[in-house]
């Protein structure tokens, strides 16, 4: 797996309808209506915010790299499609199986901090070592761990043995997973974990590909533990009190509270002192993220059918193309329909 595979997959899904910077915003996890809609509409949610602090220059360098390898065809205006060589590369190098940035990005860092601190503390407890520096300073993580240790009725040796057993059994759920990507970073009794840069060098990976591998394993662990809580009772404590991603932007949540009170769109515009287009963005977010949000008040069923038919027949999600075919539909109505139904008809 590689960052190149992810870029090529994203370009293939976008089908030349978005610029490369829509991918950049997706990887960074930009909480804009456009990025959120792209993530849903082009089935790219699993890559959302997997590179939260990716510099723009580094991203442009990645694009140059796949271009120099002739893996993409330049469509102009910062738009690319995978070339034949790119398609072959993608077939031979599939994207990571477990990445799910949309679902797990809020949990990834806290999960890793809890896991790595639990391993360090348990390891030192087993060897009755009390003089060591905790690898994380986050007070909330320390409070959580103290609670776990206090509530446990296991001896130090039992906890160490059970943690090791659960980790091995969990990682063995998929033989294609390379445990060293994660294990080398763990700190324990008289052992300091390596940095991501050190492990990347040892595994002959660049830092971005290492990050993909590392995040893929974290998401694999979270998913596996969630599905087998009884089998992994100790590891399951790592997921306690976690909340899944609240996918609405903060501004959209405020609009939703007003809408639930029966306040009209025009009134919400006045109350919030926002542009109508901004409130329309919020409605699109609701359509994307709320299964029970109905759009019939904004687009009648006949118009919904026409929009979806044109999108499917023209094999496009581009608003302008659809709008040119249905002059009576507004851009807002097209966005709303694609947000509500577009992803399902393309999958």
E-strand ranges in the chain read 72-76, 79-82
Rounded Cα distance, 196 and 215, in Å: 12
Rounded to 10°, the helix 156-171/207-227 angle is 110
- Read off the pTM: 0.86
User: pLDDT at position 212, please?
Assistant: 95
One CATH from 1.20.140, 1.20.81, 1.10.10, 3.30.160 for 3-92: 1.10.10
Cα→Cα distances 46→76, 164, 323, Å: 27, 29, 29
Token pair listed for 206? 């660049």
39 by Cβ neighbours in 10 Å (0-12 / 13-18 / 19+) ranks as: buried
* 8 A C-beta contact, residue 111 and residue 22: no
Looking up tokens 């306690």 gives 240
User: pLDDT at position 246, please?
Assistant: 60
48 by Cβ neighbours in 10 Å (0-12 / 13-18 / 19+) ranks as: buried
* Beta pairing class for 72-76 and 79-82: antiparallel
pLDDT tens-digit profile, the chain (347 residues): 689 999 999 999 999 999 999 999 999 999 888 898 899 889 999 999 999 999 999 999 999 999 999 999 999 999 999 999 999 999 999 999 999 999 999 899 999 999 999 999 999 999 999 889 999 988 999 999 999 888 888 888 899 999 999 999 999 999 889 999 999 999 999 999 999 999 999 999 999 999 999 999 999 999 999 999 999 999 999 998 775 556 677 888 899 999 999 999 999 999 999 999 999 999 999 998 888 899 999 999 999 999 999 999 988 888 999 999 999 999 999 999 999 987 666 55
Domain with CATH 1.10.10 in the chain: 3-92, 250-346
Cα→Cα distances 337→14, 40, 284, Å: 18, 13, 9
Rounded Cα distance, 21 and 6, in Å: 14
Token pair listed for 197? 């840069």
Token pair listed for 310? 């044109």
User: pLDDT at position 344, please?
Assistant: 64
User: pLDDT at position 152, please?
Assistant: 86
Q: To the nearest 5 percent, what fractions of the chain are helix, strand and coil?
A: 65, 5, 35
Rounded Cα distance, 287 and 340, in Å: 5
Long-range contacts of 202-209 (CB under 8 A, 24+ apart): 203/178, 208/3, 208/51, 208/58, 208/62, 209/1, 209/2, 209/3
> Looking at domain 250-346, does it have CATH number 1.10.10?
yes
* 8 A C-beta contact, residue 193 and residue 186: yes
């Amino acid at each position: 797996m590689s960052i190149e595979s992810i870029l090529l997959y994203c370009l293939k899904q976008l089908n030349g309808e978005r610029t490369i910077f829509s991918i950049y915003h997706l990887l960074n996890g930009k909480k804009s209506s456009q990025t959120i809609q792209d993530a849903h509409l082009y089935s790219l949610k699993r890559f959302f915010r997997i590179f939260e602090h990716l510099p723009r220059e580094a991203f442009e360098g990645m694009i140059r790299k796949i271009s120099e390898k002739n893996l993409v065809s330049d469509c102009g205006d910062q738009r690319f499609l995978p070339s034949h060589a790119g398609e072959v590369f993608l077939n031979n190098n599939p994207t990571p199986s477990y990445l799910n940035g949309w679902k797990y990005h809020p949990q990834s860092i806290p999960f890793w901090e809890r896991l790595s601190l639990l391993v360090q503390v348990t390891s030192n407890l087993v060897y009755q070592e009390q003089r060591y520096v905790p690898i994380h300073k986050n007070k909330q993580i320390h409070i959580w761990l103290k609670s776990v240790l206090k509530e446990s009725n296991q001896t130090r040796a039992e906890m160490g043995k059970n943690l090791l057993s659960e980790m091995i059994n969990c990682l063995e759920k998929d033989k294609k997973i390379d445990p060293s990507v994660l294990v080398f970073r763990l700190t324990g009794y008289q052992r300091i974990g390596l940095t991501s840069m050190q492990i990347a060098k040892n595994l002959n990976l660049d830092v971005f590909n290492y990050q993909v591998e590392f995040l893929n394993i974290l998401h694999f662990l979270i998913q596996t533990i969630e599905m087998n809580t009884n089998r992994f009772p100790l590891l399951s404590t790592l997921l306690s009190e976690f909340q899944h991603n609240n996918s609405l932007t903060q501004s959209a949540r405020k609009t939703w509270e007003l809408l639930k009170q029966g306040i009209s769109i025009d009134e919400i515009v006045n109350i919030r002192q926002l542009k109508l287009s901004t409130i329309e963005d919020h409605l699109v977010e609701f359509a994307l993220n709320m299964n029970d949000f109905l759009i019939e008040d904004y687009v009648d069923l006949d118009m919904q059918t026409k929009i979806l038919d044109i999108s499917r027949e023209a094999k496009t999600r581009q608003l302008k193309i659809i709008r040119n075919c249905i002059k009576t539909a507004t851009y807002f109505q097209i966005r709303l329909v694609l947000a509500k139904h577009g992803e399902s008809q393309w999958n």
